[in-house]
Every structure is written in structure tokens, then in C-alpha cells.
Structure 1
Amino acid sequence: MIGDGGFGLATILFSGESLMDSKAPLKRTPSLRDIESIPGLRPRLEAAYRLRDVLAGAPFVPFGADRFADSRDRALANRLVTLALRRHGHIAIILNKVLARGVPQRSGILEAVLHLGIAQLLFADDIADHPALHLSVEAARRDRRAGRFDRLVNGALRTVQREADRWSALDPQLLFPDWLGSRWRAQYGAAAVTRFAEALLAGAPLDLTFRKDDPDLAGQLGAIALAGQSARLLARDAAVADLPGFAEGKWWVQDFAASLPARLLDVRPGERVLDLCAAPGGKTAQLAAMGAEVTALDIAPERMARVSENLQRLGLGAEIVVADALDYAPPETFDAILLDAPCSATGTFRRHPEVVFSRGEKDIAGRVRLQRSLIEKAATLLKPGGRLVYAVCSLEAEEGEDQIGWIKEALPGLALEPVTPALCGGWGEAVTPQGTLRTHPALKLPGGVEGSMDGFFAMRLRLA
């Protein structure tokens, strides 16, 4: 219950579905030779099937080497899906104008093909119009359900092409659905939401957390210091695993904002610390590097296996527990607990752009109830005088700031303790007047570093 919020040459599988399986017949079944005879078609067809799944509610999992032997095709497919997801708000508006009756029902990958085609025509400067149009039509033709709408694809995309200047000038704030944009403007201001939109389009840079201070290694990486032991790579030409210090376990990938909650716990060497809902493990590594005796708990066995692998690479240790947090009954209580609770994850839209359109207000309400259950549970696992840091990667007040009032009423034994700039590596930009931590993509980074960060809320609590 509780946890973090190949292309087969013989069978031609896409996201688990075979082109041979579909119930709506085509006049002919496309063969692998047919698909690969047209340069650029296969990555677009793969991208369409993957995007179809994401539009239906699945998270976007980038293509790996197991799907594409050609790294250029893999990069193109990933780029096209990501671009369509980042521009989803604009593309949805355009489609609503261009298709008066909407996307036909039971049309297979048609909607995904149209999204990808519009993304290429309007927002991919290095892709010419002709291949964007031609390959979109060809991709539709190779799907059993979308194939009969090939003329619709051609007509719709040519209409978009003719009105490119109009559609390229859409307000950036329209990238967010009305309900989300309005609540963010109320909480953060219109100027901040414009910055949010810029961050959505720019994506997330690569931030690292060092196991210990290492200026020489930071120089080798071309990384610029943020605060504490975090740094940002200004450019990256190699795969993460090929960067200096990775194999030796000298750092791990972790957004700067995500590195702050563990620091707020202010761990001392030898303390017994519980990382509740621990996967993917960056905070576990931080706590272990601070000298704590860490217990890392999460419900997902496969994710905890990855945590174990990462800790081994880093030369760090922790007790790994696979369990439902609400059922966890350890033999002893803990000096400190970090609860990075499951949430709407709206603060992660730079790296997971699908959260912008896949979340709803009902999702937030459900998460709030779960978060409160977890806070209550965490309080029972603390020693008297023990510390609890509650954190969420959400921009929504219900999951963050509004929890303070509920805790005061429901759990009077937990007292709010102020967050200070010292706990954030000397950086005070995210410290609120209430003594909590609030990061968001429009906030200024330490040292005037360019770019943005994820949205997080965190607060420190102490058990009486």
C-alpha cells in the first residue's frame, strides 16, 4: 500500500502490445522490414505507443538500450515523447481548435501521433516540416485502429503548419491546466507561475550530492557548488555512469531541493534513524554518510533492491526493510525519522512533466489522508524527544503548509521546531516565516546559480 508516489525483432512489440494483436483489422500487417525501410519511422512509431500509454495514465519510462540498439533512434524517441509531454497544455488547446469534433474514439495511437506531429512542427526547431508531416501519417497507417484516419492526420497537421505563428505564441501559463495554474498563482504569484512554465520547458539539470566535500572532483566534473554537499553540472557529454567519481561511489544523483529534508534532521553519528518511504534512496545515502545507523523502509521490493545496489556502490550501509509503513513494528524506537511521504509529486514536473495533466484535486485529497496516517504512525516510532522531518515533493499547500494546523490539533505531542538557514547549508531563501522549508522552481538558487529546482515542502517536529 505505501510507497513513493524491447522492441522484439520477431514480434514487433510496443509497450507490451503487438501490432499483430489489435482487434481492428488493417488491410495488411506492417513488417519490421516495412517499418525500418522508412528512415525515422521506427522511433516515431515507438514514441507514439509510449506516449499513448502516458496519455492514458501511465508514467513515462524513457526508452533504454534494450529497446533501441541505435542510440540516435533511442535519443530521438525519448526526446519526442518528452517534448510532447512538456508542451501537452499547448498541444491540447491546438487540437481542440483544429479538430472540431475532437479525437475519434477507438482510434488507437491517433491522439499520440497528433501530439507528436504538432510537437515536431511547432517546437522542434531542428526537424523540418516535411518529415514531421510525412512520418506522422506513416506512423498512423501502421496502427490497426489509427490507420483509417491517415487523411485526418495529414489535414490536421497541415492546418497547424499554416497557423504556426499563432500557435507558437501561446501564453506559457497555458501549459498548466486551469485548476492547477489558478491555485499556483494564488499561492506563489503569476510571475512565479511563468517561471514554472519556463522550468517545465527547460527540464531538470543534473544535480549531485557528494558523499563528502571534494572540490577537486567537483572541478573534474565541471560542477558548481550549491549548498552543503550539493553541486550542479553545467554540462554533460557522457552517461552518468561514465562521469568521474561514479564508479568509486563518490556521489549520487539528487536534485538540490530533494537533498534538503535529510539535512533538516540534523543527524548525529551513531543515532538510530528511520528513513520511512525510502526509495529511491538518495536520502538514505545522505543519512548514512552523516554517520547514522539507518533503517530504510519501503513497500516496493524492486526499488529497495536498487537502493541496496546504490548503497553498495557508495560504500554506505543501512538496514533494508521491505514492508508497509503503516504495519511496521520495529523492536526499538528511533532517535529521528525522515518521512518523505507519498504525494501528488506536482513539484517534480520538470523531470516528470506528465504530472501536470495526470493529477487532479481528488488525487491530492486522497494523498493528504495517507500522509496524515503516516505522520501518526511515525510519531509512535519515535523516542521521547525524538525528531521527525515530514517532507513532500508537492507544490500543494494541502500536502504541506496546511498539515501544520492538523498536527497541532490531532498530535499535540509533536511540536514544530523552526528550520534555519544553517540547516540548509547556510542558504535561507527557502526558509519561510513559519519556520518551515518551501522550495519551488522559481526560487533563486544559492550563489546565483542559473536554473531551477524541484518543489518541496518540509518541516521539523519534535516529540514531547
Structure 2
Amino acid sequence: MNETNNEPGLPARLAAQRLVASVLGKARALDEAFADEVTKGALRDAAAADKGFARAIAGTTLRHLGEIDLIFSRLIEKPLPKRAGPTQTILRTAIAEILFLGVAPHAAVDLAVEAAASDTDARHFKSLVNAALRRLTREADTLRNGIDAERASLPDWLWKSWVKSYGEEAARATIRSQWREAPLDITVKVEADRALWAERLGAKLMPTGSLRLEAGGRIEALPGFEEGAWWVQDLAAAIPARLLGDVKGRDVLDLCAAPGGKTLELASMGANVTALDRSPQRLDRLRRNLARTGLDAGIVVEDAARWQPGRTWDFILLDAPCTATGTARRHPDVLYLKTHADRDRLSALQTRILDHAARLLSVGGTLVYCTCSLERQEGPDQIERFLYRHANFARRPIEAAEVGGLAELVTPEGDLRTLPCHLAEEGGMDGFYAARLIRRT
């Protein structure tokens, strides 16, 4: 992206800096912080280009934060004092612009200095900002020399976890895939209309049945959105619901259902869906999407680990709460908001919900457990422990034909394991795990 007189300027950069500060300083999700900027912040009346550019700067900064901070430490030899205010964030986002977004260096430098000058604390450090960034433009290769950008992109606990689980080569490929902006994947309501909507949208029909477009622009403005012909859903996230098989006319329980992409899938497959989640706010989004698509599902606001409905189901889908480390390509903030303590806490919660779900499944029924995490504790380890506790359950292995013939997505045990680097040349996919279980007695 080259900076021109028509491109977003200072307001977009100030917004991006606030977004990064919200994630790293206040532990707020990037989506949440961005929504506030757009609805009641400085971006409320901004042009679409300003909004998109602010989000791109913030997302790119977080994707490359490890390398950016190593470069920062070479540019600024002494730690900045607390009275420097947002100076570090101004520099971080400007480095992202220059090195990773292709913004004209002079524009990035000048506007970073303007950003510093506009803040009561950072204004005293605008000369430092100017000098540091001008040095970066002259000595970028030297300043980056010796930096392992892939290793720097992950906190220590995640690096160790991914290398142990998948090997260093796959871990590095996964990290590289997270540096790219994710494409837009959609699920079409009527399966027979996939080719039609692929043509209308200029999208590619992927092996698993999802449609893929280049990201960018307003989703609401795309053909078919208003009439509810499709919804946004990552390719990997669209697989687990289909692993239940033919559910037409059958009762299906969707546990931890919000925000509801899998509920929409099941309803579009003709199932009688009961969608349960403990968050009324998140379920509101599902209600809106059901109304837009003309699909129907029963909605229950309850705790999935405690709900006592007084009946069982033949089909249950459990998309369990997790660290969501498999979604970093779309949500780079997750790498800095989640810790190994969160993984352990959520793993314990998954165990409680999974054990309760087992009691809600009829004899002979099918339960699909899934998470958008890359952590073994939230995936295969969880299932191994479950099968040890529940001798009346067994795996029903997933076959390559069920995932578009992509055999690399199926583990030797017969589970689904997608990595962000799968289909890398076509834009990758989120990291997902799923296991299909049957209750024998």
C-alpha cells in the first residue's frame, strides 16, 4: 500500500494506536476495541478507507509484534520513561507501516511525528520518533539482521506448545500463514446453490464446500447478504457440523452455540436445532442471523455444564470454549490475550461440559466435540481423557471424503486437525480440532 494524498492520514493512525494500546495495555479483544472506535469513537464518522486502514495497521502490528519490538529495542537503546505516554505505540505502528504494509516511508515518518505532537506526553519525544524512524528507513536490513521473525512472533509458551505438538517446520509454517490477511470464507444456505453463488460473487468453491473471496470491502454490500443466501464462516469452522452426517428432520443440540455459524449450518441441513449458550448478548447475533437467513432454531440461555432438560438427543455438537489460538490469522490479539493458565482453566471447563454432554446423548447417538485451538490439551488430550473416563463411548473415525478429500486434515486416530498452514497457497484456514464420538451403551 502506497500513501497518497487521498489515503487515510492522521485520524486512522491515531485510531490504530488506540487499538494496539487497548489490546496490549488493557487486555481488550481487538474486535471489541475496534467496534467501540467505529460506533462511539473517533472512527464513528470516518470514511470506510480510514476504518479499514486503522484496522490493518493494528492487525499488522500485532501479527509482527515480536519482530517489531526487537527492532524497537535496537532503535531505542534505553527504555522509554513512563512520561513518554503513547510514544512506544506510535513507533510500533509506524514500524509496521514501513516494514509490512508498504506505506511510503516519508508519509509514515511524518505522520508518526504528527501523532506524537498531538499528545501531551508524547510531544516531548517527537524528535526521538523522527530520528528513530528515519534511521529505520535507512538501515532496515541491518536492524533486522539476525532476527528470527517466526520465533519472535509467538510467546514462549505457545512456541514450545506448537513445536512439541506439530514439529518446528509446521509451527513455522503456521506462523507464516498468520502474517497474511485471511480471505473471506462463506457458507451458502442451500447446498445446491453453491456454484451459482460462486459465480455471482466471483468466489472460489473450495473442496470442503465453502466459498472463498479476497478480503476487503463491506460484507453487507455483497450480493446475497441482505436476502440471507449465505453467512461468513471460516472454511475450517464449517467442517464440524457436517461431521454429524444426515440430520434432516432430526433433533440436534448445539452446545455453546453463539455466535451461531454452526447453528445456521445445522438448520440449513434441515435439522431441528436447539442452540444453547450462556451469553444472551452473543445469542442476539444468532437471532439476527436466523432472521436474515430465514432459518429457524430454538434458543436456550443456559450453562452447558449444568443444564437439565429432562431428555436426551441423538445428535450433539459441542463447540467448546477455548483459547482460540487457531484463529490468530483473523484475531492476532489472541496471541497476547491468552496464557498457558487460560489454556489450563479452559481445559478444565471443557472437561466439565463434555462430561455433561455425554449424559445428554442418547444410546447410539453421535457427539462431535470441537475447538478452534491448536493446543493438545484442548483437543486430542481432552478426548483421550474422556474415553478413559467413559468406556461406553468410542471414536467414529472421520474419513477424508468427509473433508473434501483433504487427507492431511485427518489424524491417524481419525480426528480432524486443521492447521492455518493447510491450503496455504489458497489462503490457509483456521486451526480447528474435532472428534466424533458415539455412545455404545
CA distance in 1, matches of 2:431, 2:217: 27
Structure 1's unaligned 5+ residue stretches are 1-38
Q: Matches of residues 267-282 of structure 1 in structure 2 within 5 Å?
A: 267-282=246-261
Q: CA deviation at 1:262?
A: 0.6
Q: CA deviation at 1:41?
A: 1.7
Equivalent residue number for residue 261 of structure 1: 240
Equivalent residue number for residue 246 of structure 1: 225
* Residue deviations 1:375-420 (CA, integer Å, cap 9, x gap): 0111121122221111010111111111122112222232222111
> 1:316/1:142 Cα in 2 relative to 1: closer, same or farther (>3 Å)?
same
Equivalent residue number for residue 162 of structure 1: 138
User: Is 2:395 aligned against 1:419?
Assistant: no
Q: 2:119 aligns with which of 136, 143, 147?
A: 143
How many residues get paired?
421
Q: CA deviation at 1:137?
A: 2.3
**Aligned-residue CA RMSD (Å):** 2.1
Equivalent residue number for residue 18 of structure 2: 49
Q: CA deviation at 1:289?
A: 1.1
Q: CA deviation at 1:110?
A: 2.4
Q: CA deviation at 1:142?
A: 2.5
Equivalent residue number for residue 281 of structure 2: 302
Equivalent residue number for residue 27 of structure 1: none
Q: 2:158 aligns with which of 180, 189, 198?
A: 180
**How high is the sequence identity, in percent, across the aligned residues?**
44
Asked whether the equivalents of residues 346 and 393 of structure 1 are also in contact (C-alpha less than 8 Å), the reply is yes
Equivalent residue number for residue 95 of structure 2: 118
CA distance in 2, matches of 1:191, 1:263: 30
Asked whether the equivalents of residues 429 and 444 of structure 1 are also in contact (C-alpha less than 8 Å), the reply is no
CA distance in 1, matches of 2:83, 2:304: 41
User: Is 2:58 aligned against 1:72?
Assistant: no
In proportion to residue count, which structure has more helix? 2
> 1:343/1:106 Cα in 2 relative to 1: closer, same or farther (>3 Å)?
farther
Asked whether the equivalents of residues 122 and 168 of structure 1 are also in contact (C-alpha less than 8 Å), the reply is no
> 1:177/1:159 Cα in 2 relative to 1: closer, same or farther (>3 Å)?
farther
Equivalent residue number for residue 206 of structure 1: 184
Asked whether the equivalents of residues 66 and 149 of structure 2 are also in contact (C-alpha less than 8 Å), the reply is no
Return 194-203 or 419-428, whichever deviates more: 419-428
Equivalent residue number for residue 216 of structure 1: 196
Q: 2:433 aligns with which of 457, 460, 464?
A: 457
Matched residue of 1:257: which SS? Answer: coil
Structure 2's unaligned 5+ residue stretches are 1-7
Q: CA deviation at 1:123?
A: 2.1
TM-score, normalisation: structure 2: 0.89
Amino acid at match of 1:120: E
Equivalent residue number for residue 59 of structure 1: 29
Asked whether the equivalents of residues 74 and 143 of structure 2 are also in contact (C-alpha less than 8 Å), the reply is no
Equivalent residue number for residue 4 of structure 2: none
CA distance in 1, matches of 2:299, 2:372: 23
CA distance in 2, matches of 1:226, 1:253: 14
> 1:144/1:238 Cα in 2 relative to 1: closer, same or farther (>3 Å)?
closer
Q: Matches of residues 353-392 of structure 1 in structure 2 within 5 Å?
A: 353-392=332-371
CA distance in 2, matches of 1:83, 1:228: 29
Asked whether the equivalents of residues 208 and 239 of structure 2 are also in contact (C-alpha less than 8 Å), the reply is no
Return 219-228 or 280-289, whichever deviates more: 219-228
Asked whether the equivalents of residues 95 and 102 of structure 1 are also in contact (C-alpha less than 8 Å), the reply is no
CA distance in 1, matches of 2:199, 2:411: 33
Asked whether the equivalents of residues 326 and 372 of structure 2 are also in contact (C-alpha less than 8 Å), the reply is yes
Q: Matches of residues 291-440 of structure 1 in structure 2 within 5 Å?
A: 291-440=270-419
> 1:144/1:410 Cα in 2 relative to 1: closer, same or farther (>3 Å)?
farther
Asked whether the equivalents of residues 181 and 215 of structure 2 are also in contact (C-alpha less than 8 Å), the reply is no
CA distance in 2, matches of 1:281, 1:222: 25
Q: CA deviation at 1:349?
A: 0.6
CA distance in 2, matches of 1:357, 1:336: 36
